[in-house]
Amino acid sequence: MIGTLAIECRDLYTPYLATLQRSALQGVNCTIKAGEFVVLLGLNGAGKSTWLRSLLGLVPIQTGTIAINEVPLVPKTLTQVRRDIGILYQGGALVPQLTALENVLCGCLGRRSPWQTMVGFSRKDRYHALDCLEKVGLDNQGEQKTSQLSGGQRQRVAIARLLMQSPKILLVDEPTAGLDVQAARQVMEILLQLNHQGVTIVTVLHDLELAQAYAKRAIVLQEGAIASDGICKNLATHFAG
């Protein structure tokens, strides 16, 4: 699978923002091959989340092009492209009143008709959701409300929910924010396992040690453009400079 292009951005500009006195993204050029594990680094406001959201067509684009799995991202291809790509937002965005299993089941709502949604989830859906929970080590917590889970467990439920759509590309925004060292490593280990299974991972991280331990390539965004792009090595020294 490595060799095909998972993500390709050419001269990507978002519209001018008066508050910033520039565009959030200004000239992003980048290719990421299928199967890569990439960490996205940069200061607050550098444009990391905006870039991730742009890859799903969630941000207006002024100029430039995006292709996902070699399919140009245009209104006509949006549904097709979104089938292949999952995004995990900061905090996971789970429904606290629902159980872990119910939250994971929500991951298949996007590919169901309104009629199927009214009928409820099938036994097959439930087995699939349990399977996804098992992949993140939470098969015993399926019936627990997510409000009663720890931050690390909630983040893993959010990953399991994404797995329901069997994405080929996972975009992850600060998956370890607010987690202790052990929980952060558990989340990163899950991302690594998924990567070993062929899923392309692009994750925003602020922890340089974790970045170096798990990702092979680091892309650094600065004021909406790529300031550096290379192998994950000596990141602390690089950033000190």
Ligand X SMILES: Nc1ncnc2c1ncn2[C@@H]1O[C@H](COP(=O)(O)OP(=O)(O)OP(=O)(O)O)[C@@H](O)[C@H]1O
Q: Which residues bind ligand X (CB under 6 A)?
A: 17, 19-20, 24, 42, 44-50
Say if CB 151 and CB 96 are below 8 A apart. Answer: no
Beta carbon nearer to ligand X, 132 or 170: 170
Q: How many residues does the chain have?
A: 241
Least distance in Å: CB of 18 to ligand X?
Answer: 9
Least distance in Å: CB of 40 to ligand X?
Answer: 8
| Residue pointed to by tokens 């329901």 | 164
Bridge partners, residue 71, by sequence: 68
Say if CB 100 and CB 142 are below 8 A apart. Answer: yes
Beta carbon nearer to ligand X, 60 or 114: 60
Least distance in Å: CB of 219 to ligand X?
Answer: 12
Least distance in Å: CB of 48 to ligand X?
Answer: 4
Least distance in Å: CB of 204 to ligand X?
Answer: 7
d(Cα 223, Cα 216) in Å, to the nearest integer? 23
Least distance in Å: CB of 135 to ligand X?
Answer: 27
d(Cα 95, Cα 146) in Å, to the nearest integer? 7
State which amino acid sits at residue 152.
G
Beta carbon nearer to ligand X, 19 or 197: 19
Burial environment of residue 123 by CB neighbours within 10 A (0 to 12, 13 to 18, 19 or more): exposed
The first and second tokens of residue 113, run together, are 């008709």
Beta carbon nearer to ligand X, 44 or 182: 44
Q: Which of 19, 33, 39, 53 is nearest to 214 (CA)?
A: 39
Beta carbon nearer to ligand X, 165 or 203: 203
Beta carbon nearer to ligand X, 138 or 170: 170
d(Cα 236, Cα 241) in Å, to the nearest integer? 9
d(Cα 136, Cα 109) in Å, to the nearest integer? 20
